[in-house]
Amino acid sequence: MKSGKLQTAVVGATGYAGLELTRILLRHPYLLPPLLVQRSAGSEVPRDLAEVFPVLSGNGGYPLQSLSWPALKRQGVELLFLATPHEVSRSLVPEAMAEGLRVIDLSAAWRLRRQEHRAPYRFEDEDSVSAAALMEKAVYGLPELHSRRIREARLVANPGCYATSVILALAPLVEAGLVDEQRGIISDSKSGVSGAGKEPTARTHFVSVADNFSAYAVFNHRHVGEILEQLQLEASVLTFTPHLLPIPRGILSTIYVYLKRPVEPRDLEATLRSFYEGCRWVRIFPSPKLPQIQSSLHTNYCDIGFCLAEDGRRLVLVSCLDNLLKGAAGQAAENLNLMYGWSAEAGLA
């Protein structure tokens, strides 16, 4: 466990996940106030985070500084958070690692091992050999699955929000060999608008979202690759359909599974609870009680519940989380705590 207080920096605090991350780091008992960094400079760029998020006004100021590796080293930064677009993280991580920094990246830049899963992001690496070497060192930052490797990691790739909700629901059953993959898995997932990021688009404009509910990116959502890799599934097994809810935040995934053999609800619940024993931020609901988005909002919990048909083989799982916390900033803080040997609750409870 590290002694003394750690100096961190956040690139991308002006986004929704970046704001949540900044708030967590400011109240974290083992950290100095984080340095807030932005890549651009000039008169049009905000100088304080309160200019972007007025809710922070009146608290003494949250200055934004331009990205400079020498400046970060002079200020004693040891760990860098990237809450930046995927392509930006792809270019910044090699530089940060060369400076000796540990990195937690909230983007998808370093999550995916297989080229076919990275292809939708169209990364263009200046040095493909170095990028491939870094990819081998990156650890997928899902604490419930990879806590041992995260502790030693220099580069942690924070999972996607949809992927977190689906992987956590399915992982215990896949590991137990209960899932009948020949029958396929269907994940019907819904997210609040903040999951699309801070920059507005035609799809996320208020007029498009309000009083509406829509599916998108059917068969080609970028998070599918994460689910397949982490659960070691073939692409033909999973049908994943994301939907946009007319709410600011929150995710609910309804997952339909056939089991290889009949099981009793109590045995299924025992499988879930055993898998997540000691995992602070996963809550298992007793059947037939099911999670709801409002119960996990503004928390770092992933809530998982299920209903099992009378035949004991047709299973519906429901997984809920806050896409900006357990699906992004909160999970990044979990990874920080693992990397430095701190309590899973530090900064989060």
Domain boundaries, the chain: 8-159+328-339, 161-323
Give me the pLDDT at residue 315, please: 98
Q: State both tokens at 91.
A: 């270019």
Q: State both tokens at 89.
A: 């993280």
Kindly report the CATH number that applies to the domain delimited by 161-323: 3.30.360.10
Single out the residue of 288, 328, 316, 320 nearest to residue 304, CA to CA. 320
Measured distance CA(346)–CA(106) in Å, rounded? 19
Contacts of 115 (CB under 8 A, 6+ apart): none
Catalytic residue among 161, 279, 302, 320: 161
Residue 238 region by backbone torsions, left for phi larger than 0, else alpha for psi between -120 and 50, else beta: beta
DSSP-derived pairing of the beta strands 214-215 and 238-244: antiparallel
Assigned CATH class of 8-159+328-339: alpha beta
DSSP-derived pairing of the beta strands 79-82 and 102-105: parallel
Q: State both tokens at 331.
A: 């999970």
Instruction: Report the number of secondary-structure helices (H) and strands (E) in the chain.
Output: 13, 14
Along the 349 residues of the chain, how does pLDDT read in single tens digits?
Answer: 555 899 999 999 999 999 999 999 999 999 999 999 998 755 577 899 999 999 898 878 899 999 999 999 999 999 999 999 999 999 999 999 999 999 999 999 999 999 999 988 989 888 889 899 999 999 999 999 999 999 999 999 999 999 999 999 999 999 999 999 999 999 999 999 998 888 778 888 888 889 899 999 999 999 999 999 999 999 999 999 999 999 999 999 999 999 999 999 999 999 999 999 999 999 999 999 999 999 999 999 999 999 999 999 999 999 999 999 999 999 999 999 999 999 999 999 8
What pTM was computed for the model? 0.95
Give me the pLDDT at residue 72, please: 98
Residue 218 exposed, middle or buried by CB count within 10 Å (0-12, 13-18, 19+): exposed
**SS3 label, residue 74:** helix
Give me the pLDDT at residue 60, please: 81
Q: Is 302 a catalytic residue?
A: no
Q: Give me the residue label for tokens 């090699």.
A: 94
Measured distance CA(96)–CA(94) in Å, rounded? 6
Q: Give me the residue label for tokens 């599974």.
A: 257
Q: Are 308 and 291 a contacting pair, CB within 8 Å? A: no
194 DSSP β-pair partners: none
Measured distance CA(72)–CA(304) in Å, rounded? 40
Single out the residue of 85, 81, 104 nearest to residue 153, CA to CA. 104
